[in-house]
Each structure stands twice: as structure tokens, then as C-alpha cells.
Amino acid sequence: MQKSLHIDPAKCTGCLQCEMACSYEHTGAINPSKSRIKVFDFEHEGRKVPYTCTQCADAWCMNACPVDAIVLDAATGAKVVKEAICVGCKVCTIACPFGTVNYMADVGKVQKCDLCGGSPKCAEACPTAAITYVDADWTGLDRMRAWAAKANTAAVAA
């Protein structure tokens, strides 16, 4: 079963445990400035929204890369940057409509979410289940269940 990250902003408290976990997994340091998932704080509306790569099936970044440094991880569906190949041209950062591929000036490469090889640390770290890792074909399952629960159909004994 393919899985994907599923984000429910209504559950996010803005604690940034996801950013810490992501940066630690990928850099060995607790460093939200290097996180591939970012929590945005729309303070005047009182909303916090975690945002990261959705792993497009036909990915703009992968198509745009002139040196084939972005490759498909067949096991997870993640589009993964091969740092050894990346030349830091940034074309992928332009191609991505969502802004989720970003250039790291200090190392001259781009970075993006790679789903941590199938166990995304952001989801593991999230204390409120605002970020979950679920069946990619059923990301709407919880919402469907919630609506189903509201359906006004009384149980009838057979």
C-alpha cells in the first residue's frame, strides 16, 4: 500500500515538533530552518498550517531537473533529491507550483520532503495527529467517516 502525508490544519497547535524532527532526521541537528515541512502561523485568523511536498505523481520538479537529480522512490512514491547529482541550478524550485522545493545556500543543493524513506518523522513527532501518514488512496477516509457519522440513519434491528 502506498501512503502519503495527510495534514489537518485544524489540529495543529504550532508547536514545531515536526520541524524539529524533520531537521534532526536530515541534518543531525535540531534546526527548524532546515526543515522540509514548515508550519505557517496566520496569527490574525488564529490558524496554524503545516505545509510540505505532496509528492505529485507527475512531478514538476522531477520533470524540470536537467541532470535527473530528482528520482522516484518506488517504494514510497517520494520524489527524492540525489544530493550528489544536484548542481544547485534551482530550476526545480521555479517549476514547483507549491514552493516545497527549496535551495540551501550553505550547501549549494536543493532540499525537499523525501518521506524519510517511508517513516516520516514529522508525523511521528506530531502530538495532535495534525500530520498523519495514511493510505494514499484513502486520504479522505477520516473526513468521510466523520460525515458518515452525521448521516441520520437510525439502526434498525433485523
Number of residues that bind another protein (CB under 8 A): 26
Query: What nine digits make up the cell of 66?
Result: 536537467
**Euclidean distance between CA atoms 82 and 9, whole angstroms:** 30
Question: Taking CB under 8 A as the rule, which mask of x and - marks residues 23-42 in contact with another protein?
Answer: xx--xxxxxxxx--------
Q: Which stretch binds another protein (CB under 8 A): 46-54, 73-81, 87-95, 147-155?
A: 46-54
Cα torsion at 24, 138, 130, 17 (round to 10°)? 0
What's the min distance (Å) between Cβ of 19 and another protein?
10
Integer Cα distance of 50 and 109 in angstroms: 23
Residue 21 grid coordinates: 524532527
Among positions 86-125, residues that touch another protein (CB under 8 A) are 125
Instruction: List residues binding another protein (CB under 8 A).
Output: 13-17, 20-21, 23-24, 27-34, 43-48, 125, 127-128
